[in-house]
Chain A
């Protein structure tokens, strides 16, 4: 029958809202899948759910399984309830869940089966490094534009403010941070204007933790000859204005999880947080465009994070709850 002629794909990724090239978790995870599969000559494919609902996610996972997937990568916290369902629906399939661990829709029940490997990233540390580096490098007027107040983005933002604080204390300078969520992950003239406004009032660098929306911030920075800090992946190639990027090791961690799977050491049933200690987050120093801040400085603060001499808080309800004496944070709109 025709069905048999349809090709199968051993590795699958189901995308979250946004496209496969969202400059964010979809893209980062996808590159991990691609890299591993290409290197090992394994078939792979991605599936885009018809809409952002648990039902559609479950269905897309079903489709992937139908298509012969042995491992399904699901990037984004929105997948938590879908994977919660799928893990028992498809016990023979392995899931790599990023940014979340499986739970029910109402957060009442958390349960992880042995076929699910859940990965969190210490975005607050990544954000911290970016904030720290920026202030050490001499910037005192910073901005943070988050795509949306989802947990990972919030962690980036809170870390960023804390990093700025530590550096400001070190240099004994005062720093201001404008802080806002755009409610968008897509490029738009509106974001460009917003960023242009910030730059016109003296903001020197904006940390754009907003996927594709960051591209509009870069457009504004280009025009204002101001700076941007990228997010998730190394975004230096997108614009000359990108001084560094607060990355999280999406690609490497997915790659690693797949390596484990084929080595029969899949870490099913575990929830990990990839932090500095596990090389999960950091700044791409090779492509960074700092003047004062340098590799030595980076290593120094990095080690402090690893050693725990600096602890970055990640569960404040609001950014203003963080005590940062040297930094004045002005939040725009609702948090």
Chain B
């Protein structure tokens, strides 16, 4: 038991769970206070129940299906941010990479009708990966060769990407409706999942995303390539000394991060979710959700799978909460508190270690 608890991985999971508990507790406090202001509010604990189960409110598998489909894009942007973190970079540009990837995927699946429709979605996904990768590549090149802080280049590229897509929407817009995109002719297949989950938006994107997460985990932790990228991230000079091309490493890290976010874009824009580019000048929120997902998942690709599911469920619980008479913002506040509380994990783990070493010493 002690050995189990002293394991770093186990401790991390405990720390994350503790953060979640803390966030939920804070949520109850907020609910409690606000119930004095809202005449029609139900009991805070009932509301909490709604929040926790809100994502799964539909009977059977339907709720699960809905969460799964909310989850895949933020799982991928989370991976994007987490992968960059692991290689010493902060990819705040997932938003721009996401929207460019999504746009290219949509463009391909609307316009490239010379490709058979049953394969077109695959081409769309590849296009998204490449396009998102190129946006990441720009940040990577600037960082590696011109020493431009990746945070600032990514912020700029977020805006450039958003404006670019907003201006390009008209080329894939529907003739009936100049501001709105046409629906993609080819979509990520559902392979019957829509029937299983009783929800016509559930498709295989979640499995693609989970596979990619596992792949990224393997790359980072098991391969020489991951070894090289992490070395560049931890100590660029030592990597160079070891004969690793550090500039290439940094460039590749950012490119892969961009490609992951770009793939996330495809998961949204060529799926049955049928989200349209509203051509408004707002940054894609999925990119910023990715930061939360990566942080809660402690940048571990496998952890990110679970944190993405959790954040997706919470997001989905927002509208449900408004049924309890409370502001749905409570859910967002709780998410913020959970992320904040995950900052305590270091202390928490230290205390745990201390506790057990002290106990051990006494024996």
Contact = CB atoms under 8 A, between A and B. Distances in A.
A67 B174 CA distance: 35
Given A2-B49, A67-B323, A148 B170 contact: no
A49 B319 contact: yes
Interface in B135-184: 166-167, 170, 174, 176-180, 182-183
A149 B178 contact: yes
Contacts of B180: 78, 150
Given A6-B42, A334-B170, A45 B323 contact: yes
B274 A53 contact: yes
A120 interface: no
B193 to A, nearest CB: 14
Interface in B267-301: 268, 272-276, 278-282, 285
B88 interface: no
A149 B324 contact: no
A48 interface: yes
Contacts of B101: none
Given A5-B46, A48-B328, A53 B320 contact: no
A308 B40 CA distance: 49
B276 A52 contact: yes
Main secondary structure of the interface of A (DSSP, over half): loop
Interface stretch (A57-65, A243-251, A254-262): A57-65
Interface string B212-246: 00000000000000000000000000000000000
Interface residues of A, number: 43
B318 A50 contact: yes
B182 A106 contact: yes
The residue in B57, B274, B275 that gathers the most chain A C-beta atoms within 10 A of its C-beta is B274
B57 A66 contact: yes
Contact of A55 (B50, B69, B177): B69
A17 B277 CA distance: 12
Contacts of A21: none
A235 B270 CA distance: 39
A144 B182 CA distance: 27
Contacts of B50: 6
A9 B324 CA distance: 10
A179 to B, nearest CB: 15
B66 interface: yes
Contact of A54 (B167, B274, B322): B274
B201 interface: yes
Contacts of B58: 62
B179 A148 contact: yes
A148 B170 CA distance: 12
B341 to A, nearest CB: 23
Given A45-B323, A48-B328, A50-B70, A184 B274 contact: no
Given A62-B58, A183-B280, A7 B179 contact: no
Interface in A12-50: 17, 43, 45-50
Contacts of A50: 70, 315-316, 318-319
A105 interface: yes
Contacts of A66: 57, 323
A48 B276 contact: no
A183 B316 CA distance: 27
B182 to A, nearest CB: 7
Given A46-B322, A184-B280, A55 B182 contact: no
Contacts of B201: 55
B178 A7 contact: no
27 contacts: A2-B46, A7-B42, A17-B278, A48-B319, A50-B318, A51-B275, A51-B285, A52-B275, A52-B276, A53-B268, A54-B273, A54-B275, A55-B272, A55-B275, A59-B319, A60-B319, A63-B57, A78-B180, A78-B278, A105-B183, A106-B183, A107-B177, A148-B179, A149-B179, A183-B279, A183-B280, A184-B282
Interface of B: 40, 42-43, 46, 49-50, 57-58, 66, 69-70, 166-167, 170, 174, 176-180, 182-183, 201, 268, 272-276, 278-282, 285, 315-316, 318-320, 322-325, 328
Ranked 9 nearest A-B pairs via Cβ? A53-B275, A105-B183, A54-B274, A55-B273, A55-B201, A149-B179, A67-B323, A107-B176, A53-B273
